[in-house]
Amino acid sequence: MREWLAKIKTSGAGPWLLVLLCCAAALLLTRFSPASPANGMTQEEARISRTLQAIQGAGETRVSVYYAQEAASFGTSAPRQPVGAVVVARGAGNVRVRLALQRAAETLLGLSPGQVEVFAMEESK
C-alpha cells in the first residue's frame, strides 16, 4: 500500500486521483440520499404530502417529519421513530381543512395531537 501511494505521489496523478475520489463520493451521496432535491422532502415526507394533498381543500402541502435520536445496537439498524411533524398547506387557513390535515398526519405517522403542527402556507406573490 505504501509503495502504491509513493508511486502515485511521484507520478503526479495524486491531485487527479483526489478529484476522482471526491466526485465518486459526491455521486454516491447524492444517489443514495433520501431527500428529493426538488423540494427538500424525503421520500416518506413526499408520500405523506401527496396523501394530505388529496384532502378536500388542502391544496399544495409540505411536510417535515422529526425523528428521535436513538442509538442503534451494534450491527443492527433500528427503524426511526417519528417524534413530531410540521405540515404547511395552502388550504390550512380553513379550520375544517386544518383539522383534517392534523388528524391525517397523526394517523399516518402514529403521533399524538401535540406532536403535529399544521400551518397555512404563505400566498404566492
Contact (Cβ atoms closer than 8 angstroms) between residue 101 and residue 89? yes
List, in sequence order, every beta strand (DSSP E) within 48-101. 61-67, 82-89
Name residues whose C-beta falls within 8 Å of residue 8's C-beta, 6 or more positions apart in sequence. 14, 17
User: In 3D, which of 46, 60, 124 has the Cα closest to residue 97?
Assistant: 60
Sequential pLDDT tens for the chain (125 residues)? 677 667 766 776 666 666 666 556 665 554 444 444 456 889 999 999 999 999 999 999 999 999 987 555 555 666 778 999 999 999 999 999 999 999 999 999 999 999 999 999 987 75
**Domain boundaries in the chain?**
2-31, 43-120
CATH superfamily of 43-120: ANL, C-terminal domain (3.30.300.30)
